A and B are shown apart, each in its own frame.
Chain A
Amino acid sequence: MGIEQKTANMGIVTTTLEQVVNWSRTNSMWPMLFGLACCAIEMMSAQAANYDMSRFGMELMRPSPRQSDLMIVAGRVSRKMAPVLRQLYDQMPDPKWVVAMGDCASTGGVFNNYAVVQGVDEVVPVDVYVSGCPPRPEGLIHGILTLHEKVKRERLAEWK
């Protein structure tokens, strides 16, 4: 029996700081409600009972940017809304991540015109793009899990 098993029986686990902090960040990442258009409905249904997102730690959806870690931009961002989006992103405390949900947030979707920002990565830096119009709740959850994998790979030197 190795020493790790003996200590584990006593309830002591050894690991690296990176792993612990990344694990804790992924397991309680609170999203900010940023449902703008139709993708918001799929985000709501992903949060609701059938496709529960609180299994993955997203128990609460905080409308306030000061109390959230993850911004799921769900829906098309119009040109008039873009400065508001940037201001809310700036108000989120570090560490923060952004998921661009749906085609309109990723690339502008079907709306290639004067009124819609062609991809929310013109305004905020995006970590994960989820495609679909709208993406199914399972698609959004897959995007969230991809984001969790990305967070778990973060190195200590890159922490903000």
Chain B
Amino acid sequence: MNIKLQPAVDALRDRFAADLKEFRDEATLFLTPEALVGAAETLRDEFGFVMLLDIVSVDYWPELEPRFHLAYQLYNLEANLLLRLRVPLNGNSPSLPTVSGVWPNADWKEREIWDMMGIRFDGHPDLRRILMPYEWQGHPLRKDYPLGYEEVQYTFNHAEVDARKPYPKE
């Protein structure tokens, strides 16, 4: 871990009970959903992490509990430091406060996570689907979402599949 990250890591550990995990030279801090916005504001105001590079959501079903992890990748422009915050979430009705008040570019990233994973963000100004059509049911990138869409149409089941395909009435 870069030694310049140490003050930020120490502050988050003391105030928000963060857990540090390191891998080679990457530093990751595990947080709870309640501590997220406070930690985000601290990092932005006191330690200069003004840039949110990405928010990534991972689904670990069925191997791990809690099922969802949200990773926030932060960047300090002046000192060239990268830091990651991870928030584990349970799968029943995952929701956590939005960070779009802290970094405005989190808006569309959180919309994508809502669309693909079904994680709600409380306080988000405009939470609706961004990649799928607006009335789509289901969240496609979850691990229990079916992989294919349509039954493959061979010669022997051509008629059955054809009867179920939606054709336009012109």
Contact = CB atoms under 8 A, between A and B. Distances in A.
Nearest to A117: B149
Interface stretch (B19-27, B60-68, B90-98, B160-168): B160-168
Given A80-B131, A80-B133, A114 B165 contact: no
Q: Which DSSP category, helix, strand, loop or mixed, fits chain B's interface?
A: loop
A114 B166 contact: no
Contacts of B145: 114
A116 B133 CA distance: 12
B150 A118 contact: yes
Nearest to A122: B166
Contacts of A79: 132-133, 136
Contact of B148 (A112, A121, A123, A125): A112
Contacts of B152: 112
Contacts of A114: 132, 138, 140, 145, 149
Interface string B122-166: 000000000111001010100001011110110000000000011
- How big is the B interface, by class? 10 to 19
Interface-centre pick from A83, A114, A116, A121 (highest chain B CB count, 10 A) = A114
B170 interface: yes
Interface in A97-129: 107-108, 112-116, 118-119, 121-125
A121 B131 contact: no
Nearest to A114: B140
Contacts of B148: 112-113
A105 B170 CA distance: 18
A108 B165 CA distance: 13
Nearest to A108: B150
B149 A112 contact: yes
A2 B170 CA distance: 47
A122 B149 contact: no
Contacts of B167: 121-122, 125
A112 B149 CA distance: 5
Contacts of B166: 122
Interface in A105-160: 107-108, 112-116, 118-119, 121-125
11 contacts: A86-B168, A108-B149, A114-B145, A116-B149, A121-B167, A121-B168, A122-B165, A122-B166, A122-B167, A124-B168, A125-B170
